[in-house]
Amino acid sequence: MKLSEELFADPPARDARFDVKDVWSEMENLPSEHPNARAEFLHRQMNEEINGLEISARNIVDYPDAPWELRMAMARQCSDESRHIEMFRRCYEARGGVVGQYPVLNFQYRILMRIDTLIGRLTVQNRSFEAAGIDAIQKEIHECRASGQDELALLFDAQLADEIEHVRYANIWIKNLMKERGARAVMDLSRAVSNANEALRIVAGDALAFFPVAGDVRKEAGFTDAEIDVARAQPGT
């Protein structure tokens, strides 16, 4: 499926091991009871963490005039994402998986690289995608502990601590950039969110899913009570 150039940038480079798909329906979407479902999830998640690293690295390159403290936060995120990639790969290969065994999506990178402002990228990647991610990770931790998968519970717990910080620094800097740039920043943010939501609906189709909002974790990540209430009332925001 060819994706619109208006909403999606060119994909990131992948070597010949990877079978890259454009939309969710083209993936190997195994039912949860399938014996390979967990391995496929870990493989997919490993590639999503690669996307996170690539996006943060591009933000550093594309916005060299950003405040130094913000550039350092983005650099730390690159380091965190690198560690996550290794964590997921290790757990995946421990289950007999081979890199490239399952298809992957690079939708996050392609959506983010079509956004041409740093405030837009921080809002969509960190404050939206990763905020939804901390909701999902919280759920995974509980399920892994309940099923005795202690190794995975520890992996997700470590990932959650990093992702909270990624959302928190974005929340801080988005507010700073809005104070500095005023109405222009609000327009850039709104346009980025609107386009990203449209692109995400194209990628996910009927499979678009939302997780219960983890209010305590989101509060730790810098969301206000009012913002958490909005997220609960409007899934996906």
Which residues are 105's β-sheet partners?
A: 21
- Retrieve residue 189's tokens: 């943010």
Q: How confident is the model at residue 235 (pLDDT cuts 50, 70, 90)?
A: low
Is the pLDDT assigned to residue 46 strictly greater than 90? yes
User: Domain residue spans in the chain?
Assistant: 20-233
Q: Is the pLDDT of residue 237 over 50?
A: no
Q: Tell me the backbone φ, ψ of residue 220, rounded to 5 degrees.
A: -65, -30
Mean pLDDT of 24-29: 93
The confidence band for 232, taking pLDDT boundaries of 50, 70 and 90, is confident
pLDDT in tens, 144-196: 899 888 888 999 999 999 999 999 999 999 999 999 989 888 999 999 999 99
| Maximum pairwise Cα distance, the chain | 52
Percent of the chain surpassing pLDDT 70:
98
Contacts of 32 (CB under 8 A, 6+ apart): none
Q: Cα 184 to the chain's mean position, in Å?
A: 25
Name the strand (E) or helix (H) holding 20.
strand 20-21
DSSP secondary structure code for residue 66 in this structure: S
Which residue in 122, 140, 124 sits closest to 77, CA to CA?
A: 122
Task: For 21-61, give the DSSP string.
Answer: ESSGGGS----TTSTTHHHHHHHHHHHHHHHHHHHHHHHHH
Give this prediction's pTM: 0.92
CB 89 within 8 A of CB 81: no
DSSP character string of 142-203: HHHHHTT-HHHHHHHHHHHHHHHHHHHHHHHHHHHHHHHHTHHHHHHHHHHHHHHHHHHHHH
What is the C-alpha R_g of the chain?
17
Q: Is 123's pLDDT higher than 50?
A: yes
Whether the predicted pLDDT of 57 surpasses 60: yes
Residues with Cβ within 8 Å of 102's Cβ and at least 6 positions away in sequence, in order, are: 19, 27, 28, 39, 40, 43, 44
pLDDT of residue 210: 76
Q: How many C-beta neighbours within 10 Å does residue 224 have?
A: 11
Q: List for the chain the helix, strand, coil content (%; round to 5).
A: 70, 0, 30
> Among 1.20.1260, 1.10.1760, 3.30.460, 1.20.58, what is the CATH number of 20-233?
1.20.1260
